Amino acid sequence: MDISIRNVTKKFGNFKALDGISLEIKDGELFALLGPSGSGKTTLLRIIAGLETPDSGSVLFHGCDATKTSVRERQVGFVFQHFALFRHMNIFENVAFGLRVKPRGHRPPRREIRERVMSLLSLVQLDQFADRYPSQLSGGQRQRVALARALAVEPKVMLLDEPFGSLDAKVRAELRKWLRRLHDELHITSVFVTHDQEEALEVADRVAVTNCGRVEQIGTPVQIYNDPATPFVYEFIGNVNLFRGRVSQGVAFMGDVRLKVPDLADAPDSEATAYVRPHDLQLSREKRGEISLMAKVVAIRDVGPVARIELMYPGNKKTYEAHIPIERLGELNISVGDNVFVSARRVKVFLNDGSRVSTPDLEKSVR
């Protein structure tokens, strides 16, 4: 079931939760709505479900306008953050609930209900707990029950609202992998909301990054991380170092460095910011190339296979961070207080008004 969101706007009083959002979700896709609190992602999910009605715009399911159809008619399964299981029912009855309350003419026979429920419990690896109650299960197990209950009614679309948000980090990581495997097996069109960047990038086929009721960028996890379309996406997704400066006549002036930015050759003189991921900073004991800058090491933190090096440039009180393999740290043999030369593998320069962007050719950049 493919889903089309077309120019959807939604206000709550004077607050505009959604501002003309449009996007396409492909049949069988696991699609993430990623953004900070208040960015409109949950409102959009509720509009897809039919729990909210847009002020303008439309929602299409497989080419048919579903904007004014009921939740039941849309045939969606909804998984909430806080499980919403019935405490007085055992796990079997929780999963069977949606089937038992169907109108008599559409309700499966008891034997079929039992077979379907047990099959789903087996799918989520909880068939041995069918007689237990929610209070007897862990948080991760309860969330899997909630997913099985949503699947029991054979929805055409699965909607998940921060499904792992109330769980601890280790359980979240395990359930992310489990959800991805489950989706690959079932291929139900699924949309899930999260503010966790790692979760969205690890699980989803594609991601829409939302901000202030608008979509900043839509793309695969690799595209979103490696090629952010806006300054907001760059700063929201992963860690990044910011270097303030200006652009004039096709050259970006960032402190002591000049970067050729041919895409901005016709841009007016403007303030600009260069964005560099920590893992794109390279350290050496000797100067390499024209745009290597000397910096002082102010902190070193070993985090598993990666060393996080905090750096400060002369005359600049702001610190920057470089991530290097732990083996490279041993090769450099550096300590806090040492000077190193820093260069970058990849840089993106945005005008500060967000209107233009350029990726400098670092091989041709000049001092």
Kindly indicate the confidence band of residue 10, based on its pLDDT and cuts at 50, 70 and 90: very high
Specify the 3-state DSSP secondary structure of 278. Answer: helix
| Range list for CATH 3.40.50.300 in the chain | 3-234
In angstroms, the CA 315 to CA 195 distance is 36
Instruction: Provide the pLDDT confidence category of residue 125 given band limits of 50, 70 and 90.
Output: confident
Among 65, 78, 188, smallest CA distance to 123 is for: 188
Sheet of 281-284: strand order equals 281-284, 339-344, 293-303, 306-312, 319-325
Name the DSSP class of 119: H
Q: What is the mean predicted confidence (pLDDT) over 62-69? A: 90
Q: What is the pLDDT of residue 174?
A: 82
Measured distance CA(66)–CA(71) in Å, rounded: 10
pLDDT at 3 over 60: yes
pLDDT over 80 at 316, yes or no:
no
Q: Given its phi and psi angles, is residue 58 left (phi above 0), alpha (psi -120 to 50 degrees) or beta?
A: beta
- Alpha-carbon distance 46 to 78, whole Å? 9
What pLDDT band is residue 364 in, cutting at 50, 70 and 90? low
Closest CA to 118 of 110, 107, 130, 109: 130
Q: Enumerate the CATH 2.40.50.100 domain ranges in the chain, comma separated.
A: 278-344
Please give the DSSP secondary-structure letter assigned to residue 250: T
Of residues 157 and 105, the one with the higher pLDDT is 157
Q: Which residue has the tokens 């800058």?
A: 293
Phi, psi of 229 (to 5 degrees): -85, -20
pLDDT at 63 > cutoff 60: yes
Q: Which CATH architecture has domain 278-344?
A: Beta Barrel (2.40)
Percentage of residues in the chain having pLDDT higher than 70: 97
> What number of residues does the chain have?
367
Superfamily of domain 3-234: P-loop containing nucleotide triphosphate hydrolases (3.40.50.300)
Consecutive H or E run containing 273: strand 270-276
Q: Which amino acid is at 98?
A: G
Q: Which of left, alpha, beta for 354 (phi over 0: left; psi -120 to 50: alpha)?
A: left
Among 74-88, 161-175, 219-233, 242-256, the range of highest mean pLDDT: 219-233
**DSSP letter string, 285-317:** SS--STT-EEEEEEEEEEETTEEEEEEE-TT--
Residue 255 in this model has a pLDDT that exceeds 90: no
Q: CA distances (Å), 174 to each of 81, 202, 345, in order?
A: 16, 12, 33
Which two three-digit tokens encode residue 277?
């991921």
- HSE (CB half, 13 Å, CA atoms) of 13? 1
The pLDDT of residue 72: 81
Between 166 and 275, name the one with better pLDDT. 275
Averaged pLDDT of the chain: 89
pLDDT at site 363: 64
Cβ distance 244 to 230 under 8 Å? no
The pLDDT confidence band at residue 219, using thresholds 50, 70 and 90, is very high
Helix axes 110-123, 91-100, angle to 10 degrees: 130
